[in-house]
Amino acid sequence: MEALPADPTSLLEAVALFADKQVAHDYFVALRWPYAVACPRMDCGSADVAKIANRNAWRCRDCDRQFTAKVGTIFEDSPIGFDKWLPALWMLTACRNGVSSYEIHRALKVTQKTAWFMLHRLRLSLKTETFDTLRGEVEADETYIGGSVKNKRGNIGHSKTGKKAQGPQAGRTVVMGMIERGGRVRAFVIPNVRRTTVMPRIVEHIAPGSTVYTDALHSYNDVSASYAHRVINHAVAYVEGQVHTNSIENFWSVLKRTLAGTYICARPWHLDAYLDEQIFRFNARRENDGTRFTQGLKGADGRRLTWKALTDKNDRE
């Protein structure tokens, strides 16, 4: 197996390195298979493969099937070359507030529709499948994503029943987040902020005995049963010594700048994907751009997103 080329350290270096389609292809191959190319078929995985002459493809001697480096990854069935995929990933992982499909469209000379699909596939590669349990000092909070009900097109601030929509959750998507102070964050969409919704997430993600900081939302009242619970009442103050939720509020601030300033109208049914993107960048905030890029590229293996699955209206809530 050929040695992996030196990782680029800037966008300029990335564009120059991956401008050659063959170099870009070989870079991904070396990263995906650092020891030897293996059949990516789920029911095979054999390393007994033969390179097909004059093609970027191999044939597995065990299952007798041909494959390329894209098979079994987010790039599968994409006609776009790695010379465009890799710079797009670099831009997505390096830009703190994300990169829009129109920016990718103009920079890489693909259609905006193609760029939008590319970005969603790349977000899948940034998704963190497993997290270590949070412990120590942990902040938990919830936020609301979306505009006011009264500002929505064709809406005069009333629900389907004709009653006036009230409260911060009306017409918005609820996101719950937790962060280990000085460490990693995780966030996910939840249907509501009821105690029966919030508490199972606390128990699932935070180790017993940890100190949990929250605001005065009543749904967190049961936290004290298994944790040292510290509450900050935002109606009175935002900080009382070590009692605050400023770390998770910082994440919400960056997230909302990304959604409002870059993506503008992210749909609720795609919000989890945008969260995956922001979580990846935030958790890798101490890494340099090159390290974030290679971490994101490694996540492309074993995942796939089709256009049908991405746009299936039956999956929307």
- Looking at residue 174, what is its pLDDT? 94
- Residues 63, 19 share a domain: yes
Domain match, 143 and 264 both:
yes
Q: What is the pLDDT along the chain (317 residues), one digit of tens a residue?
A: 556 667 888 889 999 999 999 999 999 999 999 999 999 988 888 899 999 998 999 999 988 899 999 999 999 999 999 999 999 999 999 999 999 999 999 999 999 999 999 999 999 999 987 778 999 999 999 999 986 555 555 443 444 454 555 556 667 899 999 999 999 999 999 999 999 999 999 999 999 999 999 999 999 999 988 899 999 988 888 898 899 999 999 999 999 999 999 998 888 899 999 999 999 999 999 999 999 999 999 999 999 999 999 998 776 65
Q: The domain containing residue 243 runs over which residues?
A: 137-269
Domain co-membership, 123 together with 143: no
In a domain, 289, yes or no: no
Scan for tokens 């070989």, then name that residue. Answer: 26
Q: Is residue 3 part of a domain?
A: no
Question: And the tokens for 241?
Answer: 């010594």
Residue 278, sorted as left (phi over 0), alpha (psi -120 to 50) or beta, turns out to be: alpha
Q: What is the CATH number of the domain that holds 161?
A: 3.30.420.10
Q: C-alpha angle with apex 65: 84 to 56, nearest 5 degrees? A: 30
**Residue 161: predicted pLDDT:** 52
CB within 8 Å of 45: residues ≥ 6 apart: 38, 39
pLDDT of residue 237: 86
At 166 the pLDDT is 53
Specify if 282 maps to a domain: no
| Burial of residue 30 (number of CB atoms within 10 Å: 0-12, 13-18, 19+) | middle
In a domain, 102, yes or no: yes
Same domain, 142 and 119: no
Whole-number pLDDT of residue 46: 87
What per-residue confidence (pLDDT) applies to 90? Answer: 96
149 & 104 share domain: no
Q: What predicted TM-score, i.e. pTM, was given to this entire model? A: 0.88
Residue whose structure tokens are 């990335």: 14
174 & 220 share domain = yes
Please give the tally of structural domains in the chain. 2
What was the pLDDT predicted at 150?
A: 55
Does 29 lie in the same domain as 122?
Answer: yes
